[in-house]
Amino acid sequence: MAVEAQEANFFTTKLDFIVNWGRKNSLWPFPYGTACCAIEFMSTETSPYDLSRIGSEYVRFTPRQSDVLAVQGTITYKQAPILKRIYEQLAEPKWVIAMGACATSGGVYDCYCTVPGIDNIIPVDVYIGGCPSRPEAFFDAMFEIQKKVSDESYMAQRKERLKEQWELLQAKTAQAKQELSEYSRAKAQELKEKAECLKNTAIRKAEFWKENP
Amino acid sequence: MATSGDNVKEPIVATPEAAKAFEEAALKALEKFGAVRSEKNPWGLTVVVDRCNLHATVLAMRDELGLDMLMDIVGIDYLGFKDYVGPRFAVEYVFKSVYEPAKRMMVKVLVEEADLKVPTISDLYGIANWQEREVYDQYGVIFEGHPDLRRILNHVEFVGHPLRKDYPAHRRQWLSTNDYLYPALEKRLESKGYRILERPEEINPSEEEYLQGSIKK
């Protein structure tokens, strides 16, 4: 993987293809079910609809093992920090589906307690309408995410990520250098003052003993 | 196969006669507490009592009248109510009997906004604990003597009481962090005989943070 991807060549395009093929056929959903859309998601998993046809049969109930956060249902203000935390715990790469009217826009709950759409909290890739959404709509969203995945470039992402990390590292190094120079300057000043003070004391002592032998 | 007719009980039905008899008996039994029948409820029995007699009234209803189930506690805000004269707030208690369907009634307490306090009945009915917390959360009615009066539905950083008529229905309030439940959990475990041996470093219980939004001091 130590290849610098300056421009697309045979190796990088084939690697992108393989990585994307692997990713898009094993999208493991994390169901954040708070309302009736979660029931529709359950029927999406059963054999009449069979989500495992596109490789998503593993529903992981921990954010650390899943790729797709499927938010199914109403999100209240009391729950918003929890959803945000779970999104932050998802490992990269991650995608988000807002399923149903409530997750998309708050739905009929236009009041003091409901978040008007989860895109106030976290970025969303695909929105599905419906109250609740049909299992076919969930399939459609998964196909959209598959399309999105197959357009991505692993090498380009890696390049961006490395660039980001390099910039961060540079910024941190510069900051550390700055701090060090400030600290050393302050220390030098302090030492200089101390030396001056000692010198003055010595001179005063010498004068004293000269006057009072 | 023969079934013995002795074990089959007649279904108990709430007949109008039984309901009327119960209403008369209830009004007679609660007369000494100053309970007055409310004419605003034509479908059932609602009595209005003064709040200083509430606890004794509910105790008599539970023990003498056999109303052993508290179904709901409801807060009412009469602000802007058409042709209404009287105190702004009311708290209404809905009771029924589990085994005798004819026995059901409601008790209403009227409270002024300036002195929004009602005695608790959570020592008589266990369910009243959470229902009174809900009424406190949504209307700001303070239940005197409640063991743990804090918000139950809204989050701890919520300001105001959303079901009051003067609360703007669309005023949304963000919560900065999720509820901090470790102190309550540890207290509960300790009350069951467990002992906290060690806790993770990031957990540093602060009673002030946890009780923000609560009136418990």
Q: Nearest-CA residue of chain A relative to B167?
A: A112
- The structural domains of chain B, ordered by start, are 16-165 (3.30.460.80), 180-217 (no CATH)
For the domain covering A10-152, report its CATH number.
Answer: 3.40.50.12280
Which residue in the set A78, A110, A111 is minimally distant from B175, CB to CB? A78
**Chain-chain contact of B155 with A82 (C-beta, under 8 angstroms):** no
**Chain-chain contact of B155 with A110 (C-beta, under 8 angstroms):** no
The pLDDT of A75-85, averaged and rounded, is 90
Strand partners, B108: B48, B92
Q: What burial letters (b/e) apply to B105-127, b meaning 16+ CB within 10 Å?
A: bbbbbbbeeeebebbbbbeebee
Q: What burial letters (b/e) apply to A63-78, b meaning 16+ CB within 10 Å?
A: beebbbbbbbbbbbbb
Report whether pLDDT(A163) > 50. yes
Q: Is A130 left (phi over 0), alpha (psi -120 to 50) or beta?
A: left
Report whether pLDDT(A142) > 90. yes
Rounded CA separation B193/B215 (Å) = 28
pLDDT tens, position by position, B43-60:
889 999 999 999 999 999
- Residues in chain B within 8 Å Cβ distance of A115: 172
- Residues in chain A within 8 Å Cβ distance of B177: 81
- Residues in chain B within 8 Å Cβ distance of A77: 155, 172-175
Note the pLDDT of residue B214.
38
- Pick from B140, B199, B205, B154: which is nearest to A113 by CA? B154
- Token pair, residue B90, equals 């009311």
Note the pLDDT of residue A1.
45
* Distance of residue A121 Cα from the nearest chain B Cα, in angstroms: 11
Range in A49-63, A126-140, A142-156, B200-214 with the lowest mean pLDDT: B200-214
The pLDDT of A199-209, averaged and rounded, is 93
The residue with greater pLDDT, B216 or A207, is: A207
Confidence bin at A58 (pLDDT 50/70/90): confident
Residue-by-residue pLDDT tens, chain B, 217 positions: 455 556 777 777 788 888 899 999 999 999 999 899 988 888 889 999 999 999 999 999 999 998 999 999 999 999 989 888 889 999 999 999 998 888 999 999 999 999 999 999 999 999 999 999 999 999 999 999 999 888 899 988 888 899 999 998 888 888 877 666 777 788 888 899 888 787 765 555 555 544 444 333 3
Note the pLDDT of residue B200.
65
The pLDDT of A142-158, averaged and rounded, is 88
**Chain-chain contact of A112 with B178 (C-beta, under 8 angstroms):** no
Note the pLDDT of residue B72.
94
